[in-house]
């Protein structure tokens, strides 16, 4: 969905989008049986064009936000950092989308609940996914960019 020019522009100003050789909305088969941890969350540029990063918990001891693609290519699951979630993976010629997103409903501290709600919103309403090796970027319709790093499945 991005042209290489658009991707190059985002590379230059935010340094968050991989090079044009990266796949946009890769086939789900490339992501089967993989695990991804949210390692950076860039907010949309402000009025001055500055990209700001949102604070997110990282590392196993902080209960990070994670997405796991199942081995069949039909579902994703993971952690919102507070609750567990699952979703159905639907695929067409433009890539895949997530539907029927469901999560557990444990109460967490307000900042963590806000982060969870925002993450679930992005899962439901992203514009494109870009993969470059061990990095997976989810670009939201609101121009937020969630950057995931591949982790080993234990």
**Tens digits of residue pLDDT in 1-15:** 444 434 443 444 344
Beta strands 145-151 and 135-140: pairing type?
Answer: antiparallel
Does 116 score more than 90 pLDDT? Answer: yes
Q: For residue 83, what pLDDT band results from cuts at 50, 70 and 90?
A: very high
Q: Domain spans of the chain?
A: 4-151
pTM of the model: 0.81
Buried b (16+ CB within 10 A) or exposed e, 14-50: bebbbeeebebbbebeebeebbbbbbbbbeeeeeeee
* Fold assignment, 4-151: Lipocalin (2.40.128)
């Amino acid at each position: 969905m991005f042209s290489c020019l658009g991707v190059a522009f985002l590379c230059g100003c935010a340094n968050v989008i991989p090079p044009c050789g990266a796949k946009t909305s890769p086939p789900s088969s490339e992501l089967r049986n993989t695990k991804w941890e949210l390692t950076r969350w860039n907010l949309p540029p402000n009025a001055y064009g500055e990209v700001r990063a949102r604070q997110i918990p990282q590392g196993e001891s902080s209960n990070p936000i994670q997405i796991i693609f199942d081995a069949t290519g039909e579902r994703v699951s993971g952690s919102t950092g507070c609750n567990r979630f699952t979703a159905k993976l639907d695929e067409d010629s433009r890539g895949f989308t997530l539907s029927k997103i469901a999560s557990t409903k444990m109460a967490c501290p307000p900042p963590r609940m806000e982060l969870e709600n925002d993450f679930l919103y992005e899962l439901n309403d992203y514009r494109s996914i870009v993969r470059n090796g061990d990095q997976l970027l989810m670009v939201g319709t609101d121009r937020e960019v969630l950057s995931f790093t591949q982790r080993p499945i234990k």
